[in-house]
Copies of this chain bind each other. A is one copy, B any other.
Amino acid sequence: MDSEKAEMQRFFAVIPAGGIGSRLWPMSRANAPKFLHDLTGNGQTLLQDTWDRLQPLANGRTMVVTGDVHARAVADQLPELDFANVILEPSPRDSTAAIALAAAVLAQREPDVIIGSFAADHVISDAQAFHKTVEEAVKVAATGKIVTIGLKPTEASVAFGYIKKGKRLATDTACEVLEFVEKPDIATARRYVASDDYLWNAGMFIAPAAKLLEILAKTQPTLHSGVVELAKVWDTEQRDQAMARIWPTLTKIAIDYSVAEPAARDGEVAVVPGDFEWHDVGDFAAIAELQSQGRKGHLAVLGSARVLSDSSSGILVSDTGRLVALIGLEDVIVVDTADALLVTSKEHAQKVKSLVDSLRESGHSELL
């Protein structure tokens, strides 16, 4: 067995399946979030696509972390998922709690495990290129690094964070990470893209679980001890009691702040450039663009809509079975559900989030 094979045998995929996807309201709801929907029109949900994409690397060694209200939907959608590899969150406590608890549980079972965390709601079409990139990331992670995957920007997007590359590492294409930077303004984004020193941060992390926990112990000691305590009793009858006691106390913090950025400052993070198309399909404009594949004037249709369109472009999402007639609308967004209808345009796709915020504030939680 050569060393690369051995490294991949340490690999265990983690799929954090959380977040509602407010910008995709009224399709995405608290009880039917983004990852449970088919946003590509291929007949599978994003969660199923994520699972399938990982299996050639993980061979079933895959853990899903999701809200307890989604347990049934996840089990229905992923019949091959072993329920011993499911973490059900009694409430959302941000990405560090989710990923660190997965790391701690897996490290308790297999001390040398290398985990790879991949969001349940991203779209990647070139699985082979993805596999090659993850394999290299696992190899670099085996040297004791936190490894992230950075996508070569195709435009000066202000919707993503960026990763500043440093010098090349010994293996293949990996580089050290000098810095993670937040979503920039457009001028800064243009400068980043022109410089060739920056990659999009797709939020994928590959690391030895022990290494991730070691960093967390330094940056968030209480959070660290909480997940370690949970992990110790995870595979015992005390799990539920411990979760009820400890989970609500865990600090809510994104893993970017608790692990990735501090580790980058200590020179412990590497990035493997990913050479594949990647979409976080964060809003309806992104879905429309993904579906149209650059065809001008294309109307994307998701769901069971019966549609009658006269020279309209954009996206229609409908699960009501009603006839939907569109006439002469450019870049329109129509989302037709049983209790709520959204009509806007691609230009305003990001504003859906503030609309959802105002629904929450005005007490319309039954629609969220």
Contacts and interface: CB of A to CB of B under 8 A. Distances in A.
Interface of A: 26, 308, 310, 318, 322-329, 332, 334, 336, 338-345, 347-348, 351-352, 354-355, 358-359, 364, 367
For the complex formed by this chain, how many copies does it contain in all?
2
A323 B339 contact: yes
Contact of A340 (B325, B348, B364): B325
A334 B343 contact: yes
B347 A328 contact: yes
A4 B176 CA distance: 100
A136 to B, nearest CB: 43
A326 B310 contact: no
Contacts of A359: 308, 323
A220 to B, nearest CB: 38
A348 B322 contact: no
A322 B345 contact: no
A229 B208 CA distance: 97
A347 B318 CA distance: 25
Contact of A367 (B323, B328, B338, B339): B323
Contact of A341 (B322, B339, B358, B367): B322
A336 to B, nearest CB: 6
A364 B323 contact: yes
A278 B336 CA distance: 36
Closest 7 CB pairs of A and B: A327-B344, A328-B348, A323-B340, A327-B348, A324-B341, A325-B342, A327-B351
Given A26-B325, A310-B351, A329-B345, 6 more contacts: A308-B358, A322-B339, A325-B342, A327-B352, A327-B355, A334-B341
Given A308-B359, A310-B351, A355-B308, A343 B325 contact: yes
A245 to B, nearest CB: 39
A354 B325 CA distance: 12
A358 to B, nearest CB: 7
A344 B312 CA distance: 9
A81 to B, nearest CB: 35
A26 B340 CA distance: 18
A344 to B, nearest CB: 4
Contact of A322 (B310, B323, B325, B340): B340
Nearest to A348: B328
B358 A343 contact: no
